[in-house]
Structure formats: structure tokens, C-alpha cells
Amino acid sequence: MRLSAIFSLILVAATGFATFGVKYEVEGLLAHLARLESERAADQNQIAVLRAEWNYLNRPDTLAALNERYLSLVPVTAKQLDAQIADIPMRETAVPVAAAPPPAAPALADAGTAPEAGRPAKVKTIGELVASLTLAR
């Protein structure tokens, strides 16, 4: 009788403490969450400001002025586009990579498109090769 009373008292105290513990932990987490949310809102606002600034600094007239000052690039003319890169054919017989000069090989291997050694190249034209390189990136 007395033992059970003591036992239940301890149990009550333990559950009480546990409840309080969980409760305060949750409260702490909620406060943390609220802080994160407000930080996120501030960051989002900051991103919005930076995006606006990025677009402001990239106004075409600004870029044109900078180009005039530092680069002097001119618009592409139709003549420069006369031949497309896809129009240039590859060599008739595909060259195995093993036969290719070594310095060129690592660059291709990095792009992940180099055919395996010994196998003939799958791409037929430079245009296709360029297209596959851009896709790989």
C-alpha cells in the first residue's frame, strides 16, 4: 500500500517533469522556427533587392555604354552567320580516340562525351559534337 503510493507519486512527478520538458522544448523549437522564418523573410527581401539591383545594373543601355568603352563589340551581321557550324562535316572515317593526340583527350573526357578507346566515334558532324557537348554541360 505504502509502496504503491510512493511509486505512483514518483510516477506522477516523473510524468510531470517529462511533460514540462517536452513542452518547453517545443516552445523553444517554435521560437527558433519563428526566428528562422523572420530571417528567411529578411533574406527574401534582400534577394528581391539584389535581383532588382542586378537587373538595374544590366540595363541594355548601361551594357551598351560599357561595351563602347571597354570592348567595342558590334552586332553580329548576317554575313558572319552565312555558314552554320553544323554544315561542316566530320572526317569520313571516324578516328579512334587512341590514335588521337593525347593533349586533346583529357578535355573531351572531362565533358563526358569522349567515345571509349577503340570504338569509332558516334558523332558524325562537328555540329552534333557541339550539340552533345552543350547537352552534357
Q: Which three cell numbers stand for residue 81?
A: 552567320
Among 45, 88, 109, 124, binds other proteins (CB under 8 A): 45
Does position 84 interact with other proteins (CB under 8 A)? The reply is: yes
The least distance separating other proteins from the CB of residue 8, rounded to whole angstroms, comes to 20
The least distance separating other proteins from the CB of residue 30, rounded to whole angstroms, comes to 5
Residue 125 DSSP SS3:
strand
Does position 52 interact with other proteins (CB under 8 A)? The reply is: yes
For every residue of 53-94, DSSP letters joined together read HHHHHT-HHHHHHHIIIII---PPPGGGGSS-GGGSBPPSSP
Among 71, 73, 75, 99, binds other proteins (CB under 8 A): 75
| 97 Cβ contact list (under 8 Å, min separation 6) | 105, 108, 114, 115, 116, 117, 118, 121
Does position 72 interact with other proteins (CB under 8 A)? The reply is: no
Number of residues that bind other proteins (CB under 8 A): 34
87, 127 contact by CB (below 8 A): yes
Among 6, 9, 13, 33, binds other proteins (CB under 8 A): 33
**DSSP assignment letter at 113:** -
Residues in touch with other proteins (CB under 8 A): 19-20, 23, 27, 30-31, 33-34, 37, 40-41, 44-45, 48-49, 51-56, 58-61, 64, 75-79, 81-82, 84
